[in-house]
Amino acid sequence: MRSLGKAVLVSVAVGLLFSGCLKPSVLHVDLTSGLPPQTGVTRDGNYPAAMESLIAYMKDELGIPFPSRVSLYLYPHDLAFERGLQEEAGFAPPSAVRTAGYASAVATAGKVLVNELDLARASWKRCVEILAHELVHVAQYHLAGGRRGWSVQWLREGFAEWAATAALDRLGLERRDVRFAKAKGRVAWVYDGGNLPTLRQLMSPSGWTAIQDKPDGAASYELAMLATDFLISRAGIAAVIQYFRDSEVRDPRGNFSEAFGHSPFEFEAEFMTHLKELVR
């Protein structure tokens, strides 16, 4: 991997890591000087290199904009992560408890919050995958002016999965065709069982969350990624990025029609025809 040299200022503020400590380790990546192209990540657990490589690839090769500074908060355990969701992401206590129970990482404006203990149990490829996914959400916040934005949930999640897949392929961690084959297999299995959700069910955050309570989330992430890939094949990445930029306006359906030339429901009908062929 090419060294960043002076192009990026990376500072790490490490909290006291004693038993019961709730303080995170915090990594700040300053993008004001720009990022040179990166070709890979180094050894397992090297979060600075992973952050630099992922942001550089997604920014320079996919054209995804990022804020001038991105911070990674590494919480030492579940309770610390739960507290961090409240303090750094503004979660209400009940929501923080529920989210910390199933999520390993969460993104908000300019920040990725990570349960480091949870990720320590995962492979390094999985860690990079999660980090890539959440970094796309950071970009979505940035595009919407620092707020969550009014965008359909399946496209938010699907684009994060799509870009993470591209990044894993670029960094040599998992080939795109392999990842897509896995996604198609899971969607086909759920589809054959009659439990595949519709994109309409996955449009709102509440609808998305309700589906996550089903076994394995009813392949919703995989379905969203396949739908996003179909959308990008027709409209291009730039149109998707513009859609998230326009999501400052509270009209997710209207914004979708404006960006892609048809309503989300018209797109769903076309995608389902495509999907039936895809999962045969």
Rounded Cα distance between 62 and 86, Å, is 32
Tally of CA atoms within 13 A in the half-sphere of 256 that contains its CB? 20
* Residue 207 contacts residue 243 (beta carbons within 8 Å): no
Task: Look at residue 266 in the predicted model and tell me its pLDDT.
Answer: 96
User: For 115-141, what is the mean pLDDT?
Assistant: 94
Long-range contacts of 195-202 (CB under 8 A, 24+ apart): 196/223, 197/223, 198/268, 199/152, 199/154, 199/223, 199/224, 199/227, 199/264, 199/267, 199/268, 199/271, 200/264, 200/265, 200/268, 202/152, 202/153, 202/154, 202/157
Per DSSP bridges, beta strands 111-115 and 69-75 are: parallel
Query: Which distant-in-sequence residues (6+ apart) come within 8 Å of 146 by Cβ?
Result: 67, 109, 110
When pLDDT is cut at 50, 70 and 90, the band that residue 149 belongs to is confident
CA triplet 235, 241, 246: central angle to 5 degrees? 105
Residue 69: pLDDT above 80? yes
Mean pLDDT of all residues in the chain?
A: 87
Angle between helix axes 153-170 and 205-212 (nearest 10 degrees) is 70
Per-domain residue ranges for the chain?
1-148, 150-280
Q: What pLDDT, on the 0 to 100 scale, is given for residue 35?
A: 58
What percent of the chain has pLDDT above 90?
66
The reported pLDDT for the residue numbered 17 is 41
pLDDT at 16 over 70: no
Phi, psi (degrees; rounded to nearest 5) at 71: -115, 140
What pTM value is reported for the model?
A: 0.88
The four Cα atoms 96, 89, 50, 141 give a dihedral, to 10 degrees, of 130
The Cα 240–Cα 222 span in angstroms is: 18
- Average pLDDT score over residue span 153-160: 97
Quote the pLDDT of residue 14. 39
Using an 8 Å Cβ cutoff, are 149 and 237 in contact? Answer: no
